[in-house]
Amino acid sequence: MKLVLSARIARAVLSVSLLVFAEWAALAATQEQAEKYPPTIVFMSDFGTVDDSVAICKGVMYSIAPDARIFDLTHQVKPYSILDAARFLQGATPYYPAGTVFVAVVDPGVGSERRAIVARSKRKQYFVLPDNGLITLAGERDGIEAAREIKNPAWIISGGVSATFNGRDIFSPVAAHLARGEDWTQVGPEVPVAKLVRLGVRPAELGLHGMTGQVIATDGPYGNLITNIAAEDFLKLGYKLGEQVPIELNNQRMSIPFVRTFSDVRLYQRLLFIDSRGRLSLAINQGNFA
């Protein structure tokens, strides 16, 4: 879903207070203290929690890295939805320190010829996941400085790899080895970052006459539309809180107020706001935009 925002003629300096920016700044300041944290793994999948899959993967991780803390990002990703998983991953990385290992298993191509990889961001965080585009959004924001294909048999589970449970046999043990502080260059051969699979989501583009982005998700039961336009990019257009923003959505033109929160507009009125993950979003106050 394409979204076009018109530029404001006078690009005034904005005095917008966004808590998320303050949080990110504080977190960035702690990156140099990452060595003070115990090993941290953040686990995400579309496995759900009905069966034993998540617990088995955690058992593999703890067996290799017993001192690691393992946090569940979510295991309720819509089955096979790489885009949803990429969005959740992008939203989480600013809130964890350097050295964190993110293991993400949303893998419709499990057992195929798709690569299993480890990527390292410029924030010095690691991503253990299938090379199916899952890294796209986090990579765009954080920057990926290097990637490697998982090929070292010493880093994966012994006794053979299941063609349908790479989360247990490949991704979990690799994440645990990384959390133990082992040299990540030993996982396998380097993969050029430019060769990593990308999702078909074009980055938001800022031009002379406005900005073009995409609606990439709907926010749960509320029906808010989440775009791929970062707050810092939108603010370059020069709009102040309370001003109307001309937009075009699915070839329909409209004007929507840019506000801080839902209650800043009347009941059932449309609004444009920066969500808690720092993305431009559209909503209806106590209604469903979708």
Does 30 fall in a domain?
A: no
User: Is there a single domain that holds both residue 78 and residue 100?
Assistant: yes
b/e per residue, 29-65, with b = 16+ CB within 10 A? eeeeebeeeebbbbbbbbbeeeeebbeebbebbeebb
Does one domain contain both 106 and 230?
no
Q: What is the pLDDT of residues 62-99, one digit of tens each?
A: 999 999 999 999 999 999 999 999 999 999 999 999 99
Is residue 26 in some structural domain? Answer: no
In a domain, 102, yes or no: yes
Look at residue 91 and tell me if it is in a domain.
yes
Specify the number of domains making up the chain. Answer: 2
The mean pLDDT of 160-167, rounded to a whole number, is 96
Return the HEC string of the chain.
CEEEEECCCCCCCCCCCCHHHHHHHHHHHCHHHHHHCCCEEEEEECCCCCCCHHHHHHHHHHHHCCCCEEEEEECCCCCCCHHHHHHHHHHHHHHCCCCCEEEEECCCCCCCCCCEEEEEECCCCEEEEECCCCCHHHHHHHCEEEEEECCCHHHCCCCCCCCCCHHHHHHHHHHHHHHCCCCHHHHCCECCHHHCCCCCCCCCEEECCEEEEEEEEEEHHHCEEEEEEEHHHHHHHCCCCCCEEEEEECCEEEEEEECCCHHHCCCCCEEEEECCCCEEEEEECCCCCC
Confidence at 7, pLDDT banded by 50, 70, 90: low
Residue 147 and residue 94 in one domain = yes
201-240 burial, b for 16+ CB within 10 Å, e for fewer? bebbebeeebbbbbbbbbbeeeebbbbbbbbebbbebebe
Cβ atoms of residues 236 and 8 within 8 Å? no
- What is the distance, to the nearest Å, from the Cα of residue 13 to the centroid of all Cα atoms in its chain? 29
**Boundary residue ending a domain (195, 224, 252):** 195
Statement to judge: residues 185 and 209 lie in one domain: no
Tens digits of residue pLDDT in 20-32:
444 444 445 445 5
| Domain range for 222 | 2-19+202-284
Arithmetic mean of pLDDT over the chain? 90
Residue 103 in domain:
yes
Asked if 137 and 263 sit in the same domain, the reply is no
Q: How confident is the model at residue 221 (pLDDT cuts 50, 70, 90)?
A: confident
- Residue 134 in any domain: the answer is yes
Residue range 31-47, pLDDT digits in tens: 555 556 789 999 999 99
Instruction: Count CB-CB contacts under 10 A for residue 3.
Output: 21
Q: Provide the pLDDT confidence category of residue 208 given band limits of 50, 70 and 90.
A: confident
pLDDT at position 21, please?
45
pLDDT of residue 19 exceeding 50: no
How many residues are given for the chain?
290
Q: What is the pLDDT of residues 172-194, one digit of tens each?
A: 999 999 999 999 999 999 999 99
Q: Are residues 168 and 206 in the same domain?
A: no
pLDDT of residue 40: 98
- Do residues 103 and 168 touch, judged by C-beta distance below 8 A? no
**Do 157 and 89 share a structural domain?**
yes
Query: What pLDDT, in 10s, does the model give residues 90-142?
Result: 999 999 999 999 999 999 999 999 999 999 999 999 999 999 999 999 999 89
Counting residues of the chain whose pLDDT is more than 90, the rounded percentage is 78
- pLDDT of 8 reads 60
